[in-house]
Amino acid sequence: MGITNWSSILESILFAAGDEGLTLKQMAEVLEVDERITLDIVEQLIQEYEQDEKRGINIVQLAGTYQLATKKENAPYLTKLVESPSTTTISQAALETLAIIAYRQPIPRAEIEDIRGVKTERPLQTLMSKALIKEVGRAEGPGRAYLYGTTKEFLDYFGLRSLDELPPLPEKVNEEFVQEEADLFFEKFQETINS
């Protein structure tokens, strides 16, 4: 069979895995080599992608998996490709709800509503339809309310490897400063979603 082209095989299996990506362990099992060797192959391929400006893809590590992704500088063209009348932005209410879930998960709807001070049924439906959140279990006690948490798609969407990469919340909260800070946070959050 000749010399095995590990980079070619790795590229193929990452392509086949799609948005799910593959963990280092999964790639090592498919390649039938040690994880350390697999990591060397991945790092070599990442370097090849970074050095070749003609390529439109690269390898990223998100949420504990490696996956093929398009280069950021090509985003305007991809946006044109996927734009359609059915594409909608996320409302301020949905953004607020998403931020609460991201920082306080797993969290029941009642607690989200207590924090926001308004009903959250529609924002929850929007976020679930976009696969940014999901039901992650049931609360203990009467009624056993659904608990909500973020998804792997949430991490992928915002380019996070894990929830540990979320920006820290301020430790002391100055009441006069809260609204201004919230507005800035959601403005940046909305820019990230729309870019």
- Please state which CATH number belongs to domain 92-194: 1.10.10.10
Q: Using an 8 Å Cβ cutoff, are 84 and 91 in contact?
A: no
Task: Indicate whether this model's pTM tops 0.85.
Answer: no
What sign does the CA torsion over 30, 31, 36, 42 have? negative
Instruction: Give yes or no on whether 6-81 and 92-194 have one common fold.
Output: yes
* Domain residue spans of the chain: 6-81, 92-194
**pLDDT at site 175:** 47
Q: Is 193 left (phi over 0), alpha (psi -120 to 50) or beta?
A: alpha
First to last CA, the chain: 46
Averages of pLDDT over runs of 10 residues in the chain (195 residues) are 74 87 93 94 92 89 89 81 58 88 92 88 88 90 88 87 84 54 62 60
Cα separation, 30 vs 140, whole angstroms = 41
Rg (the chain; Cα; Å): 20
**pLDDT at site 132:** 92
Fold held by 6-81 = Arc Repressor Mutant, subunit A (1.10.10)
**pLDDT at site 183:** 63
**pLDDT at site 47:** 93
**pLDDT at site 64:** 86
**pLDDT at site 39:** 94
